[in-house]
Chain A
Amino acid sequence: MSFVGRSDAERRAMLERIGAATIEDLWGAIPAEFRVAGALPLPPPLAEYEISKRFEADAARNADSGRYACFLGAGIYDHFIPAAVRALTSRSEYATAYTPYQPEVAQGTLQVIFEYQSMIRELTGMEVANASMYDAGTAAAEAAQMAAAAKSRRRVIVSAGLHPHHRQVLATYASAGNFKIVETPLTGGRTDLAAAKAAFGADAAAFLWAQPNFEGIVEDGAVLTEAAHAAGAYSVAVADPIALSVLTPPGAQGADIVVGEGQPLGVPMSYGGPLVGFFAIRKSDVRRLPGRLSGVTADLDGRRGFVLTLQTREQHIRRERATSNICTNQGLMALANTIHLALLGAQGMRDVALQCLERTHYLAARVARVPGVSIAHGAPFFREFVLHLPGPAASFVEHALGANLLAGVPLSRFDRGRPNDLLVAVTEKRTREEMDRYASTLAAWVGSRAAAPAEEAACPR
């Protein structure tokens, strides 16, 4: 978006029109004590070239994923984005009006949304997908709200395998009073089925579980769904779209709602956003679907056209009776998802997923050989795993920066009781050289600690 300043002539014209002689006249209404006296304490102006050098130098101080091998995950992943995604999403044809309520001027946008919905349906194994949500966290919370309304029940059982941030968003939604959260623990990295069953009781509206879960473990979706249904609750999966191309989709396991984060599908990591959530359901619940829905229809001459569909669900018509107050979507990010999925196709998605799986297990096998280091859980994992270290994970992460590695996310950020656990993600972008460097860097760190055990006390926990 470009910024065009005002000329002196334009300022004079505007002041004249409102009857002010000078800009000082206009600001005269602001009491003197709230006005800045004199010039702002800013550095002198720079030429465009000087500014670009200055910002390049500042940006070079960041440890970015271009220069560092990125093993960070925990909800946002370093997958390759083909140049075509950026080139196509930037085309002016897609920069149409924000709100595609007018099908006669928004066919391009509406068709993209329709195709996005179709692809999400296929990935999740569900019958209907909406036009997208803000992110996986809000999608999970909307799913809890929808289930509570559908079941006329208020208790929502949430597996501790959900991302801690998603659980926080759920708690924020729950504070409005439409539902109440009961959290159930993991055992050995997996959702504890017995504990979940005990938590259901007779009035659970939904059971939320993640696939794979926050610690990278693949859950048994069929068993979790069966347990939810036995308690009369909806089974709600928060699923990763890359994993969905090789795992049995939750829809095929009987899940009632499948949501997830679309960032791995062509959206840059940025600094943690913007993200995009997907949301898919069974057709029988379509009147409770939050958000927008694009449908295909025929015009008076029988030609194919796309329109927003079932809008009476939405807040601008149903107002306070709407199940959700979201009637927008994450258009640009969903567009990137659509183009990315179309470029890769089903086979490409499977290839990416299998490469992630193979590389993750390669790295896990390498690092598990380092003395004192172990893989925290024995259960199957997909693209991410928890590494249990012989010292503080934060200290290893700091050390690995020296080898140009972003080594992972210390779990102490979410749970202070786990200082030595590190969450490590491996995408298809990681090379054998990078993974071997990771293993040797870890071995060197462990070795240096064995040589100087006093370091422990100095390490921040």
Chain B
Amino acid sequence: MNVPKDLRYTKEHEWIRSKQGEVEVGITEYAQGELGDVIFVDLPPVGTKVAAMKTFGSIDAVKTVSDLFAPVAGEIVAVNGSLKDNPALVNQSPYEQGWMVRIRVENPAEVTALLTSDDYEKLLGAHA
């Protein structure tokens, strides 16, 4: 299972990439495998304020729907428009082209409190 070392993670199987006061958010390789073929990603418009661990969107697979949780509080500054026409990017490239939103972080301490790749691998171990 691919769990990149340079990312942070949540218990909800999302990954977080820090970039100068902003974070990019997506779902992990494990999460996309559990969901199966992703057919739609419902994301909020740019400018939406999000609260930590509150729902900001949802992801539809063929037979299930899952909520997306904001890993940290902040404001959505970018949304991956490619997912609209090609939601399968979430399955094909979960850590790169399948990113979902970028959030301008309110409190940087929230980012450092997230799971490290080691923590997340342990969590996956518990699932296995």
List residues of A whose CB falls within 8 A of some B CB: 287, 311-312, 317-318, 321
Contacts and interface: CB of A to CB of B under 8 A. Distances in A.
Contacts of A321: 58, 65, 67
Nearest to A288: B42
A454 to B, nearest CB: 69
B40 A287 contact: yes
Contacts, number: 19
A321 B39 CA distance: 17
Contacts of A287: 40, 42, 60
Taking residues whose C-beta sits less than 8 angstroms from the other chain, chain B's interface range is 10 to 19
B67 A312 contact: no
Interface of B: 39-40, 42, 58, 60-65, 67
A287 B57 CA distance: 13
B62 to A, nearest CB: 8
Report, nearest first, the 10 A-B pairs whose CB atoms are least far apart: A312-B60, A318-B65, A312-B65, A317-B65, A287-B40, A317-B64, A321-B58, A321-B65, A317-B63, A287-B42
Given A312-B61, A312-B63, A321-B58, 16 more contacts: A287-B40, A287-B42, A287-B60, A311-B63, A312-B39, A312-B40, A312-B60, A312-B62, A312-B64, A312-B65, A317-B63, A317-B64, A317-B65, A318-B65, A321-B65, A321-B67
Main secondary structure of the interface of A (DSSP, over half): helix
A147 to B, nearest CB: 17
A34 to B, nearest CB: 47
Contacts of B58: 321
Nearest to A287: B40
A321 B59 CA distance: 12
**Residue among A287, A312, A317, A321 with the highest chain B CB neighbour number at 10 A:** A312
16 contacts: A287-B40, A287-B60, A311-B63, A312-B39, A312-B40, A312-B60, A312-B61, A312-B62, A312-B63, A312-B65, A317-B64, A317-B65, A318-B65, A321-B58, A321-B65, A321-B67
A321 B66 CA distance: 10
Nearest to B59: A312
Contacts of A312: 39-40, 60-65
A287 B40 CA distance: 9
From B39, B42, B61, B65, name the one whose CB has the most chain A CB atoms within 10 angstroms. Answer: B65
A390 B39 CA distance: 64
Contacts of A317: 63-65
Contacts of B62: 312
A431 B100 CA distance: 65
A317 to B, nearest CB: 6
A321 B62 CA distance: 16
